Structure 1
Amino acid sequence: MKKVILLVWVSMLSLLSLAQPPEKNLPPEHLQIRYEPQWWPDRILLTPATDPATSVTVTWRTRAEVRTASAEIALADPSPEFDEYEKDYQAETELLVSEFARAAYHKVTFTDLQPATLYAYRVGAGDYWSEWVQFRTAAAGPEPFTFLYLGDAQNDLHEHWSRAIRAAYREAPQADWVLHAGDLINHSQNDYEWGEWFQAGGFIHCSMPVVVPPGNHEYIKNAEKRKVGISPFWGAQFNFPDNGPEGLEDRCFYVDYQGARIISMDSNADFEGQAEWLADVLEDNSNRWTIVTFHHPVISPSGDRQCDEVQQLWKPLLDQHQVDLVLQGHDHSYARGQGLITGTNPFEEASKTVYVVSVSGPKMYSITEQDWMDRAAENTQLYQVVEVGQDEIRYKAFMVDGALYDAFEIHKRDGKPNKVKELKISHKNRRRFENTLSDPDER
């Protein structure tokens, strides 16, 4: 059933903050024009549904005048006549008005799909349709899979982040989905920044489902820089399984994907409520692998920037249930290690959880050397390719020039803690500001 919702974020901000919003980060006029919505669909994005073997959700944007839109899907047969057998879905539509643009956002969840099957879909209305885009559903049971992991994009998305996500795709075009660790943009209310993020990813966003926990920059802030609510662009663009705590829809959820439970959490809000939910989700988990992602690191590689609530409320659960891999962002540097001892819970010594912080955009922070870091880097844009098998996870972190900076395997051992095996890498020197290009004029 179609629904039309008017979302005016300026009014919402006034009600939430009861204060004047901070100075607007207005773009040059040519950027506002460049990212204006059109009759043609744009910002097409796939997100996983509750059962990724039989369903998937697609969202897209058009001009506000498009109030009735739909999506078509068919088996991706090699014959060009495959589209004669398409199935139609009517979209849910909401109107979103910001200071930069007035646009309609549309959503369709394709259901009753066949597992491990290649489909083609397109979205549109009237005479204005996207191209046919292919994607593959998940297998119904445990099977090896690959995903891409990218840390904060945030700044200079058109100029600098585009090379990171495109290099990641070039390295692993067979990847099944993409994980972004939050802070996709710098100012959550700026439509043109979202336009740059979508343009940089291009067809990748509409052919590989994305998993995204919100970062602090996805939140609206008042004049005192306090977070007063998630950006209205978030719910319009990202639609995730509705299995998280009440009030955190599309921000906290999990997906069971081919023998792995992927848990995504919002490290900006309701830490106690999410801790209770996390305990249940980890306890009632029959998957062989568990991978957790959230934005703020348990321990910051860049000084005292960690989130105390994450460390005190969530980490004990991650350790107790021996989560295999935790993927984070926020600190614009790279760090990876196991021995992350905080002294806050009795499960730390036995836990062999691997914690990673990474960055894919151009904004960079210094690292503070710490005992838990097995590998670290500054001033380096990276992307990661993660291959999940039956008994091992193979993780590779590449610099955007394609050089392999970090690599290891996590080996699952029944009845014993995981074992991590370091793999050979092509770039052994630790990258620091003093031995990298830190001034663009030096290039």
Structure 2
Amino acid sequence: MKRFCIAALMSIILLFLLSAPVFAAEYDSDQIILSWTDDSAHTQTITWHSASKKDGYVQYNREGMQLSPQHQVKAKIIEVKEDQYYRYEATIRGLSQKTTYEYRVGDGTSWSKVHTFSTAPTWETSRITTTDDAQSFEFLYLGDIQYKKRSQDYKTWGRMVEDIRQRNPGIAFALMGGDMVNSPRNMNDWNLFLSQATSVFAGIPMMTAIGNHETTVKADMYLKMLALPQNGPKGVSEEFYSFDYGNCHFAVVNTSFFLDNRKAAMEEEWEQQLTAISSWLEQDLTESGARWKVVVMHHPAYGISDGDPIYDAIREEWEPVFEQGEVDLVLCGHQHLYMRTKEIGNITYVMGNSGKRRSTYFNGENVPEYVEAINATDSNYQIIKVSEDKLTLESYDEEGQIIDKWSKNKSVSPLLKAVAAAGIIVVVGAGAVLIRLRVRKRGSL
């Protein structure tokens, strides 16, 4: 009887184990970051960290649809630090514009939790519309994150970014103006920065500029850790790049190229590379037909203090290019305060500071005549809203209280609005008028 009871109990236990649902172990990924390396309307790049060094994959589908190997992209593995730290990078292509997708990363067996992202509107649907609100969007700008107390300040920054996202759920992506870390090759800095960033930037893309604290001679670690467009000048393509989002064009430049150690390392090649960079920037800006143009860089052309030769170099080499290219707004950092200039050559220059370091350049009185607004007390961030005929920047402190507001208007003729409403794009230039019908992109998921 005893043997029968034991056998029956074992059978019940075995039956329970066989019938119980099997839960796959969660993939050991972290530091998931979205960015773009290609067209923002039809692609999405995802990077992440995993200690396993197994093959990595991204599975994706339209929101609410099943994730499966049918829609899966294999990632390339980037060894950032030998046998210590690896990042994975995968780009999804063939996506539909203005569409929300779900995705997860994994090794083919175990997977991360599911995240979402949304693609940008296409250039054609954003150029000239009769319904302004339908094509408007907003994005976030964050100046220097650089800390005073590393672990504590990164956590404070991470909470602030989460709060920004909650207060502004409509932000489409973020721009960062450099100095995300204090030491360019310190893995503790990178780990803390990306670990705090992932809660927001696994859901919206993060597009960055190089600061002087991301570089020694070159920004080697930065270029391995982050995935960015490679459409810039040959040899410095991810240091300098551009992308479009809707009716706005963004050019990102590396002002640390003017540092003395970069000049010394490159010797006579430095002048040749600078010429190529300036030519690329001029072509990139002047050939863009976007309604609004924004430049992102680290060092200011116009700051609270003018003692650095880099500022002079920017004004000499690139300010004329900005003006010729009809740039509307330049976003920068470096001096650890908030500052906005008056219009200079039809361009407004804005400096942000999202971290805890405070300016050593500002003594409370030395305000140049070109400064329109300044705040040297608070960590801050900027929300930029883009519509058909208006560009608006609102600057907030870390508590979400507004500290400054600026806007710029551009009128659109009623004739062009009417033509656009008929589904026709009109491009006027060089004395010619080109009229073409919109063609819907096919083959997108």
Give the shorter-chain TM-score range. Answer: 0.7 to 0.9
In the other structure, the counterpart of 1:105 is: 87
Letter of the 1:354 partner, please give it: T
Rg larger in 1 or in 2?
Answer: 2
In the other structure, the counterpart of 2:350 is: 356
In the other structure, the counterpart of 1:198 is: 194
In the other structure, the counterpart of 1:9 is: none
Preserved contact between residue 333 and residue 379 of structure 1 (Cα < 8 Å): yes
Does 1:154 pair with 2:154?
no
| Deviation of the 1:197 alpha carbon | 1.0
In the other structure, the counterpart of 2:132 is: none
Q: Secondary structure at the match of 2:404?
A: strand
Q: What 5-or-longer segments of structure 1 have no aligned partner?
A: 1-37, 221-227, 341-350, 416-443
Does 1:68 pair with 2:68?
no
Q: What 5-or-longer segments of structure 2 have no aligned partner?
A: 1-25, 127-134, 258-272, 414-445
Preserved contact between residue 164 and residue 361 of structure 1 (Cα < 8 Å): no
Give TM-score, length-normalised by structure 1: 0.76
Q: Distance in 2 between matches of 1:206 and 1:138?
A: 16
Identity over aligned pairs, percent? 25
| CA RMSD, 1 decimal | 2.0
In the other structure, the counterpart of 1:403 is: 401
Does 1:319 pair with 2:323?
yes
Which of the residues 202, 211, 220 maps onto 1:231? 220
Alignment of 1:338-377 (within 5 A): 338-340=342-344, 351-365=345-359, 366-367=361-362, 368-377=366-375
Q: Distance in 2 between matches of 1:128 and 1:301?
A: 51
Distance 1:301 1:278, change over 3 A: same
In the other structure, the counterpart of 2:262 is: none
Which of the residues 97, 120, 142 maps onto 1:138? 120
Does 1:177 pair with 2:166?
no
Q: Which has the higher helix share?
A: 2
In the other structure, the counterpart of 2:160 is: 164
Preserved contact between residue 54 and residue 107 of structure 2 (Cα < 8 Å): no
| Deviation of the 1:102 alpha carbon | 0.4
Which of the residues 46, 54, 67 maps onto 2:34? 46
Does 1:116 pair with 2:98?
yes
Letter of the 2:60 partner, please give it: I
Letter of the 1:250 partner, please give it: E
In the other structure, the counterpart of 1:441 is: none
Preserved contact between residue 37 and residue 45 of structure 2 (Cα < 8 Å): yes
| Deviation of the 1:195 alpha carbon | 1.4
Letter of the 2:296 partner, please give it: T
Distance 1:247 1:358, change over 3 A: same
Q: Distance in 1 between matches of 2:85 and 2:341?
A: 44
Q: Distance in 1 between matches of 2:276 and 2:200?
A: 34
Give TM-score, length-normalised by structure 2: 0.76
| Deviation of the 1:288 alpha carbon | 0.6
Preserved contact between residue 271 and residue 309 of structure 1 (Cα < 8 Å): no
Preserved contact between residue 163 and residue 400 of structure 1 (Cα < 8 Å): no
Q: Distance in 2 between matches of 1:190 and 1:39?
A: 26
Letter of the 1:91 partner, please give it: A
Q: Secondary structure at the match of 1:268?
A: helix
| CA deviation vs aligned residue, 1:155-213 (integer Å, no higher than 9, x gap) | 13424322332232122121000011001010111111111112222321111111101
Preserved contact between residue 74 and residue 86 of structure 1 (Cα < 8 Å): no
Which of the residues 305, 308, 313 maps onto 1:309? 313
Preserved contact between residue 57 and residue 108 of structure 2 (Cα < 8 Å): no
Q: Distance in 1 between matches of 2:154 and 2:374?
A: 26
